[in-house]
Amino acid sequence: MKIKKKYRILCLILAVAVLGVGIGYVLSRGDWWFYLEQTFRIYSEPDLKIPLRDETSREWTLAELMQAEGVTVSKLLMLVNSSHPLPVGYEAELEEYGGALMHPLMIAPYIALKDAVYQRTGVKIYVSSDYRTREEQESILAESEDGVAAQIGCSEHEAGMALDVYAPYHAGMEFLKSEAGREVNRICCEYGYVIRYPHGKEDVTGIAYEPWHLRYVGAPHAKIMADSGLTLEEYIEYLTPETWYESGEYLILRTEKNTVSMPAEWETCSISPDNTGYTIITVKR
Ligand SMILES: [Zn+2]
């Protein structure tokens, strides 16, 4: 009888230990919890409204506007995917940072993002893939066994507007197992970056979830996209042409025309083609 009782207690201790280890393991899998958070996240409507008509606006031709003070011309809002390849003769605008080549306007926001992640997690993130030449993309495509690599001319890396990042010992999908990786995914939109191929939008982007691939689109677009759960494909589609939208201190217009009616004053203004035949004008008042 005594032996039976001891045996039962031993079994109970063993069961509790196994359960404890199991619970501990599940709790330690930050990536699983992050997946859950992503899957059940509730998105809001895009933070955009139609502004009241600005009576003091004046007409500008696009050419005239591009030359105006405080106006930046870039290609940072170009949609690049298998159905929207880079235009023939596209030349990426590049600058080097820490051995990586990227669009000059991406550098300061990337440094700010990297520093914020370091401050919050104590982990430094690094770039594993930056700008790729057409030839480099060609060899990546040839080496990819399952054909997941983008076709030539269809990669954001060739556009010089994407960065693949990693944390030490945590690259690829392992990135989410690091607190730094999860933090990058959570806060990159505050710095103008989006997770371009998000979880649950594989049918829209045609690309599997890539928590390491950051695409720069700038403010306020990155935040609007992240809060509303829209991919770049969906966001561009959402912007009804020839309609000014207001988002906080920004105004956004997607236009096909050569003349635009601009607000009377602005602090900064950026102009970018979207690669679908339209130009996106972003004004900070
Ligand atoms: Zn990438």
How close is the Cα of 187 to the center of ligand 1, in Å? 18
Lowest mean pLDDT among 56-70, 71-85, 190-204, 218-232: 56-70
Q: Which residues pair with 97 in a beta bridge?
A: 100
Distance from the alpha carbon of residue 238 to the mean position of ligand 1, in angstroms: 25
pLDDT at 147: 58
pLDDT band at 42 (very low <50, low <70, confident <90, very high): confident
Q: Rounded to the nearest whole angstrom, what is the distance from the C-alpha of residue 213 to the centroid of ligand 1?
A: 4
37 alpha carbon to ligand 1 midpoint, in Å? 23
Q: How much is the average pLDDT of 151-172?
A: 94
pLDDT at residue 148 above 80?
no
Q: Where are the beta strands (DSSP E) in 107-148?
A: 126-129
Tokens at residue 3, please? 């032996």
Q: What's the 184 CA to ligand 1 centre distance in angstroms? A: 14
Measured in Å, residue 156 CA sits from the centre of ligand 1 at: 7
- Gap from CA of 165 to ligand 1 centroid (Å): 8
Distance 149 CA to ligand 1 centre (A): 9
Residue 234: name the closest of 69, 11, 130, 79 by CA. 79
Question: How many angstroms is it from 212 CA to the middle of ligand 1?
Answer: 7
Contact of 225 with 235, CB cutoff 8 Å: yes
Given pLDDT bands bounded at 50, 70 and 90, which one contains residue 56?
Answer: low
Q: Find out whether 239 and 77 touch, Cβ atoms under 8 Å.
A: no
How far, in Å, is the centroid of ligand 1 from the Cα of 28?
27
Calculate how far, in angstroms, residue 131's C-alpha sits from the geometric centre of ligand 1: 9
- Where does CATH 3.30.1380.10 sit in the chain? 85-216
pLDDT band of 41, cuts 50, 70, 90: confident
Architecture of domain 85-216: 2-Layer Sandwich (3.30)
Percent of the chain with pLDDT over 90: 73
Q: 71 alpha carbon to ligand 1 midpoint, in Å?
A: 29
pLDDT of 54: 63
What's the gap in Å between 106 CA and the centre of ligand 1?
A: 15
User: What's the gap in Å between 258 CA and the centre of ligand 1?
Assistant: 34
- The pLDDT, as a whole number, for residue 35 is 87
Mean pLDDT for the stretch of residues 19-48:
88
Q: How far is the CA of 182 from the centre of ligand 1 (A)?
A: 17
Q: How far is the CA of 88 from the centre of ligand 1 (A)?
A: 21
- Beta bridge partners of residue 216, listed in sequence order: 193
Q: Which two tokens stand for residue 154?
A: 């269809």
- Average pLDDT for 229-254: 96
- How remote is the CA of residue 150 from the centroid of ligand 1, in Å? 9
Q: Name which of 23-27, 65-69, 193-197, 257-261 the model is least confident about.
A: 23-27
Cα-to-centroid distance, 112 and ligand 1 (Å): 20
Report how far ligand 1's centroid is from the alpha carbon of 205 (Å).
Answer: 13
pLDDT digits (tens, 9 = 90+) for 170-198: 999 999 999 999 999 999 999 999 999 99
Q: How far is the CA of 157 from the centre of ligand 1 (A)?
A: 6
Arithmetic mean of pLDDT over the chain: 93
pLDDT of residue 47: 87
pLDDT of residue 55: 58
Distance 253 CA to ligand 1 centre (A): 28
pLDDT digits (tens, 9 = 90+) for 5-28: 888 999 899 999 999 988 888 888
| Residue 217 contacts residue 225 (beta carbons within 8 Å) | yes
Q: Are 70 and 194 in contact (CB under 8 A)?
A: no
Q: What is the pTM of this model?
A: 0.91
- Write out pLDDT tens, residues 85-132: 999 889 999 999 999 999 999 999 999 999 999 999 999 999 999 999
CA distance 109 to 100: 14
